[in-house]
Amino acid sequence: MVLGLGNPVLSDDAVGLAVVAALRRMFAAAPIPGADILASTRAGFELIDILRDYGRAILVDCVTMPDPRPGTVRRLSLDDVAGSHRLVNVHDLSIGVAFRLAERMGIRMPAEVEILAVEAADTCTIAEGLTPAVEAAVAPLARRIYEDLKDRAPAAEPLDTEDFRNRRAFYSPDTG
């Protein structure tokens, strides 16, 4: 599954949602059986709900860096995102802690997690658009993810549609 994370009204923070929207357009033209494309504005405990029962997950989000190169895509692991404001904040828990908690509770979480983080130029301005450099990264990243999913499609397991609709953390930029 692919999970795009973001805030749709904080400029570059919406890049994960934009990548998911681009992926959905690709899927409309040529679906890949067994691959699910989701978007969420949530974090912490909510991620357990979204990610449970998947074998593999690709998370797409923005990352802020001290000397950013906006639009640069970084491949990160769960250990690398300990300080991400969405994947951990003072009122929630980090995705790593969420995975450990889920394991203790007997909740099956993805064994393979890849985080694709796009370096942001602006995550503070209230705006519904990405900066030009980050916008330029959306289509190539979506294409890269689509090709990866297509290459792995035979091993993917389909998700029960009814279960998918009951996940309260689901967000769709198309339906709000």
Query: When comparing pLDDT for 120 and 163, which is higher?
Result: 120
User: Of 4-8, 90-94, 101-105, 166-170, which gets the smallest average pLDDT?
Assistant: 166-170
Q: For residue 173, is it within any domain?
A: no
Domain assignment of residue 46, yes or no: yes
Residue 167 lies in a domain: no
Comparing C-alpha atoms, which of 74, 66, 55, 89 is closest to residue 15?
A: 74
Confidence band (pLDDT; 50, 70, 90) for 165?
Answer: very low
> Is 114's pLDDT higher than 60?
yes
Domain extent, residue 112, equals 2-161
The domain that holds 91 is classified in CATH as: 3.40.50.1450
Going edge to edge, which strands form the sheet with 37-40? 37-40, 2-5, 56-63, 112-119, 73-76
E strand residue ranges, the chain: 2-5, 37-40, 56-63, 73-76, 112-119
Q: Is 170 within the bounds of a domain?
A: no
Is 104 within the bounds of a domain?
yes
51 pLDDT above the threshold of 60: yes
**26 found inside a domain:** yes
Could you tell me what percent of the chain has a pLDDT over 90?
55
Residue 27 lies in a domain: yes
Q: Which two tokens stand for residue 22?
A: 């681009």
Kindly report the pTM of this predicted structure.
0.81
Phi, psi (5° rounding) for residue 71?
A: 95, -15
Split into its structural domains, the chain has a count of 1
Residue 157 within a domain: yes
**CB-based burial of residue 119 (10 Å sphere; 0-12 exposed, 13-18 middle, 19+ buried)?**
buried
Average pLDDT over residues 6-34: 94
Tell me, what's the pLDDT at 92? 58
